[in-house]
Amino acid sequence: MENQTALAGKGFKKGSFLAVLMAGVFVAILNQTLLATALPHIMEDLQINANTAQWLTTVFMLVNGVMIPVTAFLIGKFSTRR
């Protein structure tokens, strides 16, 4: 309870946090949908089979999953004020 009070005193709003979190989830799902839609064209242009194209999708999502926390860490470490 003390932690919530401390956060509320610093202007922390749960609604804003939830909105940003939901926007991030939406963008991640949108990225996956866009790649799935473009996959047949990518397969044709690069002359690859469906198995290789599925690996492309897997690697894309893996990189997204790794880079999101890394980006958050770097933003926290190197602020724009320096």
Would you kindly state where each structural domain of the chain is located, as residue ranges? Answer: 2-77
Q: Counting Cβ atoms within 10 Å, is residue 37 exposed (0-12), middle (13-18) or buried (19+)?
A: exposed
Round to whole Å and give the CA distance between 56 and 41: 13
How far is residue 46 from each of residues 32, 34, 41, 51, measured CA to CA in Å?
19, 17, 8, 13
pLDDT digits (tens, 9 = 90+) for 21-79: 788 888 878 888 888 889 999 999 999 999 999 898 889 888 888 888 888 888 788 87
pTM exceeds 0.75: no
